[in-house]
Amino acid sequence: MRVIESVFATVILTIIACNHIPKQTERKTIPIVDKRGEIHIYRSSNPLELGNDYALYCMEHHHWETISVRYVPNTLSKLRNEEYTVRKHPKSS
């Protein structure tokens, strides 16, 4: 009886392990306008966060770019706006 139980347990564990499908991350298109007014389109699963630099492939210009996200003060109010600085990444040369 123990042999049947261990075979049954092995089969169940194998089925459970083989049916586990990892969750795929959703890649979203991120369009931005940099401080010079140029449009850039990136694809990433993470949002661009303030104070960080990112190296992403621009689908608009077809090369790697470094994106810096910073706050700049608005002259009309005390509010601040996000500003994107984009430059060509060394990977692209």
Q: Within a domain: residue 72?
A: yes
Determine the pLDDT at residue 23: 65
Q: Which helix (H) or strand (E) holds 16?
A: helix 2-18
Neighbours of 62 (CB within 10 A): 8
Range of the domain at 42: 25-92
Local confidence band at 19 (pLDDT 50, 70, 90 cut-offs)? low
Q: Within a domain: residue 6?
A: no
Name the domain count of the chain.
Answer: 1
Q: Within a domain: residue 32?
A: yes
Determine the pLDDT at residue 79: 73
Name the pTM for this structure. Answer: 0.64
